[in-house]
Structure 1
Amino acid sequence: MQGKIFPESNARDLGKEKRLTQVIYALQAASFLVGVTYFVAAVINYVKWPDVSGTWLETHFRWQIKTFWYSILWGIVGGLTLFLFIGYVILTANTIWIVYRVVIGWIALSEDRPVS
């Protein structure tokens, strides 16, 4: 989303929304220990989407939601192919991809910039 202007983000304080976005990244990361937090994070994303719509934080919400849905898809594919060696490869790649997405997103958030 580089180059996109978010006029509303300059017009109001986004501190509360930024903290919420941090919480969502934390919930996604915590899901490696407590799986249900992954689903809680996704629900929060959808419920709070209107609060960040039109701001640079919207890119983070989109990033988090895409991370959730694609990881669920690849988790199912990996689970269904576990009896084959490829299932383990898919699940391992999916885990690495989730960690990558959480880290890259959280770093961008800490630098007050959109994620793309």
Structure 2
Amino acid sequence: MYAMTGDHINNPMSDNMNNKQSRSLVTYNHITYLLYVLSYFTAGLLWIVPIFMNYAKRRDADGTWLATHFDWQIKTFWYSIVWFIVGIGIITFALGSFGVSIMADSGNIAVGSVLLASIGFIIMGVAFIWHLYRIVRGWIALADGRPVP
């Protein structure tokens, strides 16, 4: 699909985009990567803004190396959301079971509930680290003028 020459991509479809449009989309992607990073300091409140931004400009980059960055950020967002929700679901189920174990005065159920909740927290932690890794990796590739896989 893309032929690499040094740090740049030769793609006949990218000839349709002038240098000003390309620089504009690069800047736009820098902003979306920044918003993803800032979302860590706003309890995730900014997490939704860059996904809307990516969907809004995604088609403008079709056929260029910048399209990989839009797709990368969109996939990162959705996979992170799915795994985060799975983790929260497991924790919620475990906490409900913990409440039942207290009412039933069962230590075995309580231990199982704590272990299950731990698995949920591990899933959420891995999703968090994976999300951060993908944002950093993508942002570095953008700064180098390279597509992401």
8 Å contact from structure 2 (residues 3, 11) kept in 1: no
Q: CA deviation at 1:77?
A: 0.3
Larger Rg belongs to? 2
| Cα 1:57/1:102, change in 2 over 3 Å | same
Q: Which runs of 5+ in 2 are unaligned?
A: 5-9, 95-116
CA distance in 2, matches of 1:93, 1:20: 28
Q: 1:80 aligns with which of 76, 82, 89?
A: 89
TM-score with structure 2 setting the length:
0.72
- What percentage of residue pairs aligned between the two structures are identical? 42
Q: What are structure 1's unaligned runs of at least 5 residues?
A: none
Q: Which amino acid aligns with 1:17?
A: L
After superposition, what is the alpha-carbon deviation per residue over 1:24-49, rounded to whole angstroms, capped at 9, x for unaligned?
A: 10111111112121111000000111
When normalised by structure 1's length, the TM-score is 0.92
Asked if 1:9 corresponds to 2:17, the answer is no
Q: Which protein has greater RCO, CA pairs closer than 8 Å, 6+ apart?
A: 1
When you count strand as a share of all residues, which structure comes out higher? 2
Q: 1:97 aligns with which of 125, 130, 137?
A: 130
Number of matched residues? 116
